Amino acid sequence: MGEENSDYTKNFVDLRRHMWIEGVEVELRRLIWQIAVVGKYISAKIHESNRKLAGFKNVYGDEQLALDRISDDILKSQLKFSGFVREYASEELEDIIKIGTGKEKYIVTADPLDGSSLVDTNLAIGTIIGIHKESILDSGRRTMVAALYITYGPLITMIYSAGQGAHEFVLDREGEYVLSQENIRLKEKGSIFSPGGLRRDWIPEHLKFVEQLEKDGYKLRYSGGFVPDINQILIKKGGIFTYPALKKSPQGKLRLLFELQPMAFIMEQAGGLATDGNQDILSLKVENVNQLSPIYIGSVTEVQMAKKILSA
């Protein structure tokens, strides 16, 4: 019995231990852990959900579920008293807000509940987080130091990166985030694609790109949720997600600050790429919190092919 416990302890790597082994600085790993714990609270609220809309609209004019507002309130209140966060920006708020004394190290961006409109159909949804040390506006520099997302599906999983690879954890029955995959690496070329937007609204260059994927035998895998679609590319070790420029919406639909930057950070750490079709997502200058951008994100071969076709 003693030997079994010893082996279990030896092989058991939870999130806190993993970050310590990776050498993540103390304050950053405490912040990541705190956000991971918030994911447990949000998960509990999802399971309590009665599927009812709250009757509000967010700053983008989208219908807000009660869960959106609750998730944002939970995350904001936890970070407010963390001692590590001086500013907070969320897809549910109109602007960046100060939540600390001004002396804390980090700025956190959040999509507290991405894909919440899928709750009533029981599809996977998620939370997306970016962690920055410097101002997130008016900078073409890479200011992100860590990113993570939590997927609420049949399993509750979290993939995080603090700049030393991308790592997956699964929430176990005891409420611990246990290491599932370390240093996830994408293949040079995948076999699945997830295309957002209506085909009739695509610009000609993007249509040509998708037709090439179809010609090459790529399988269509699209859930309508950004988190689960990115997650499948990482877990399947390849492929591409895209939400392109549209004829009437040249900047696409997804938010640069809250959705695209954190996912680009993680994808690059897994050996992939993320671009708007021209520039790397992490090199784009963020001019306002509402900024949108087209996105091509995934394996190197597919993203480079997209850039080549779009530039032509």
Predicted local distance difference test score (pLDDT) of residue 49: 67
Checking if the pLDDT of 9 tops 50, the result is no
Please tell me which residue, 87 or 139, carries the higher pLDDT value. Answer: 87
Report pTM: 0.92
Question: What is the chain's mean pLDDT, rounded?
Answer: 90
Average of per-residue pLDDT across 63-75: 80
Rounded mean pLDDT, 31-38: 96
The residue with greater pLDDT, 116 or 264, is 264
Tokens of 285: 């200058």
What domains can be seen in the chain, in order of their start residue?
A: 2-181 (3.30.540.10), 192-311 (3.40.190.80)
* Tens digit of each residue's pLDDT (9 = 90 or more) over 172-181: 999 999 999 9
Parallel/antiparallel/unpaired status of strands 295-298 and 240-243: antiparallel
pLDDT for 119 equals 80
**E strand residue ranges, 91-239:** 97-98, 106-114, 125-132, 144-152, 156-161, 167-171, 177-181, 192-195, 219-220
Structure tokens at 21: 């082994």
pLDDT at 37 over 90: yes
For residues 161-199, one letter each, b for 16 or more C-beta atoms within 10 angstroms of the residue's C-beta and e for the rest, the string is bbeebbbbbebeeeeebbbbbeebebeebbbbbbbbbee
Q: Residue 253 above 60 pLDDT?
A: yes
For 163: left if phi > 0, alpha if psi spans -120 to 50, otherwise beta; the answer is left
Percent of the chain with pLDDT over 70: 90
Angle at 245 between CA 188 and CA 200, to 5 degrees: 105
Indicate whether 265 pLDDT > 60. Answer: yes
Quick one: pLDDT band at residue 204, thresholds 50, 70, 90?
Answer: very high
